[in-house]
Amino acid sequence: FFFALGRGHRCMSGGGPGASADGRVPSCTATVPQAVGASSSSSSGAPASTSSVSTHQTTVTKAHIFEVQDAVLKGLKFDEAHEAKVLADGIEKHSASLAQALAQVTGSLHASLHDMAACTQEHMRVYDHALTSFADNVDQSVAAMTAFMEKVRKLNEDLRKMKALHAEIKAVLEVVHTLDAVTLKLVKAAKQRKK
């Protein structure tokens, strides 16, 4: 497209066909011909068509670009205002597409960051809940172990008392056996006296 515009600029500067004998360029048309056949009058020395472009043709299309290239190659010339308008329309369309793409990328990035933040927040919540539960379980385990050790200590003390009691019981049993033996001897002695 820019190659075609360069050719048109050279045509407007007097280097292409259609220039007058003194090097001056006649006034260029404000539009591009709608068909290549319209260039026959230009090749015979007649001025190019001056029909105006409809107001709804505001965007640059591929067909329009091809018409521009054909017109330049046929020796037709552009008006500088029309050339600037074509460039401005192209730049505006390209800028709009870039802005739309940038808006889409920004929206996608915003959604991704929002999802990442939500995922991170959920992860931190789960981690905090797990850590709190673990700390509570550890505290309960420590408390239960402390109570168990206290009961074991008391049981050990009770067992020591049981040892002392067992020794006392053995001493009592020895005394009982001794008394039993003495009683048997006394009974035997009494029986012998009666005889």
| Owning domain of residue 64 | 2-78
Mean pLDDT, to the nearest integer, of 93-98? Answer: 92
Domain-embedded: residue 174: no
Residues 6 or more apart in contact with residue 71 via CB below 8 angstroms: 8, 32, 33, 39, 78
pLDDT digit string, tens, across residues 178-187: 998 889 888 8
Between CA 38 and CA 52 the distance in angstroms is 14
Confidence class for position 88, pLDDT limits 50, 70, 90:
confident
* Residue 118 in domain: no
Six-digit token string for 147: 């109570």
Give the pair of three-digit tokens for residue 179. 């008394």
- Taking the C-alpha atoms of residue 22 and residue 26, their distance in angstroms, rounded to an integer, is 11
Q: Work out the average pLDDT over 126-146.
A: 93
Task: Report the mean per-residue pLDDT for the chain.
Answer: 71
What is the DSSP track for 24-80? Answer: PPPPPBSS--SSGGGGHHHHTTPPPP-PPPPTT--S--HHHHHHHHHHHHTT--B-H
170 within some domain = no
Structural domain contains residue 173:
no
Q: Would the pTM count as exceeding 0.75?
A: no
* Bridge partners for 29 per DSSP: 78
Given a cut of 90, is residue 141 above it in pLDDT?
Answer: yes
167 belongs to a structural domain = no
Whether 35 is in a domain gets the answer: yes
**Residue 188, in any domain of the structure:** no
Q: Tell me which residue of 75, 15, 64 sits closest to 41, measured CA to CA.
A: 75
Give the number of domains in the chain.
1
Whether 6 is in a domain gets the answer: yes
* 20: nearest Cα among 72, 81, 77: 77
Taking only the tens place, the pLDDT of each residue in 36-86 is 333 333 434 444 443 344 444 444 455 566 565 555 545 545 566 778 788
How many other C-beta atoms are found inside a 10 Å radius of the C-beta of residue 29? 20
**Calpha distance 156→139 (Å, rounded):** 26
Q: Which range is least confidently modeled, 5-9, 110-114, 141-145, 176-180? A: 5-9
Which DSSP category does 17 fall into?
T
